[in-house]
Amino acid sequence: MKKRTLGNDKLEVSAIGLGCMGMSFGYGPPGEKSEMIKVIRAAVEQGVTFFDTAEVYGPFANEELVGEALAPFNNDVVIATKFGFKIDRVNMKYGGVNSHPDNIRLVAEESIKRLKVEAIDLFYQHRVDPNVPIEDVAGTVKDLIQEGKVKHFGLSEAGAATIRKAHAVQPVTALQSEYSLWTRQHEIEIIPTIEELGIGLVAYSPLGKGFLTGKMDESTTFADGDIRNLLPRFKQDALAANKVLLEIIERFAKEKNATNAQIALAWVLSQKPWIVPIPGTTKLHRLTENNGAINVTFTDSELAELTEVSEKVKVMGTRYPEAMEKSTGL
């Protein structure tokens, strides 16, 4: 596995990371714990050094899983986690944002324990909190870095103005935002901004929440508790219409003797040397398939063609319902 660096302070991670959310949260029933630990440890064996989680995934269950799975490898891996939501610790439910400094500190202390680490490698604000100035958020994380509890500061789904304000207080190592062949809006303002400031991009959902793998069509249904039941792009008519994009990816996959997933990931990797995709999976064979994308390369003309023809596809359906989209802070 090749390595990449995030941010001006050069946080070195594997070129492809592992998003662990789906093992505990978001895509139906959680995976069986021992099996998920096998997948995470297999990722380490395959050279993955970058793992993504958050306190809200579960809540708490995903951090506990990742902490247990990676405990033997703490000195060899980078674990990113997140703060910024209100969590009802009695009913184990979450709702609304909360980046008040006291909550950031509480989350840091608790996450360190669940992850079984001495300090959090990369600590993201999960979503922008309109009620707390971003300067206060950045200042709190700066204090945590000075105290040795956090190593690097990150933002998730933040807009350009927010990124600039935060970065002026505490340098931002990475921005985590959705980026893939069917989610390209960040190319307009966000990617140029972070390139100017020297901030890395961690691309979540680089496989379009599974759609870009080519394993779904208009007859696909999702389990109870699967977030895709709520997303406009996964409604029946959208799944049917968006197959046009899959046909383009499939053509390149055949030409490259690769899979759809590998083409989609290789495209993300080809955009900038400081972009790191974090596909998620609960299956060992998909982990191996995804990591194989590191060996898929494009000529300049091939990359230009894939970028151009995919960009012409008008994707049906927004990525989130309106209320969720507004919460991204863009």
Domains and CATH numbers, the chain: 3-211+268-296 (3.20.20.100)
Residue in 27, 57, 124, 320 annotated catalytic: 57
List Cβ<8 Å contacts ≥24 apart for 230-234.
230/321, 230/324, 231/317, 231/319, 231/320, 231/321, 232/317, 232/318, 232/319, 232/320, 232/321, 233/182, 233/208, 233/315, 233/316, 233/317, 233/318, 233/319, 234/209, 234/317
Beta bridge partner(s), residue 13? 4
Output the pLDDT for position 56: 96
Each residue's pLDDT, cut to its tens digit, for the chain (330 residues) gives 999 999 999 999 999 999 999 999 999 999 999 999 999 999 999 999 999 999 999 999 999 999 999 999 999 999 999 999 999 988 888 889 999 999 999 999 999 999 999 999 999 999 999 999 999 999 999 999 999 999 999 999 999 999 999 999 999 999 999 999 999 999 999 999 999 999 999 999 999 999 999 999 999 999 999 999 999 999 999 999 999 999 999 999 999 999 999 999 999 999 999 999 999 999 999 999 999 999 999 999 999 999 999 999 999 999 999 877 765 543
The DSSP secondary structure of 31-48, one letter per residue, reads: PPHHHHHHHHHHHHHTT-
Output the pLDDT for position 328: 52
Are the C-beta atoms of residues 250 and 213 closer than 8 Å to each other? no
Output the pLDDT for position 192: 98
Beta bridge partner(s), residue 155? 125, 175
Output the pLDDT for position 93: 86
Are the C-beta atoms of residues 152 and 174 closer than 8 Å to each other? yes
Output the pLDDT for position 330: 36
Distance of CA 91 to the CA centre of its chain: 26
The DSSP secondary structure of 216-227, one letter per residue, reads: --TT----TTBG
Output the pLDDT for position 327: 59
Question: Tokens 């793998």 map to which residue?
Answer: 213
- Please say if 57 is a catalytic residue: yes
What's the pTM?
Answer: 0.97
Phi, psi of 8 (to 5 degrees): -65, -25
Return the DSSP state at 307.
H
Compute the chain's Rg from CA coordinates.
19
Output the pLDDT for position 324: 75
d(CA 277, CA 259): 16
d(CA 19, CA 53): 7
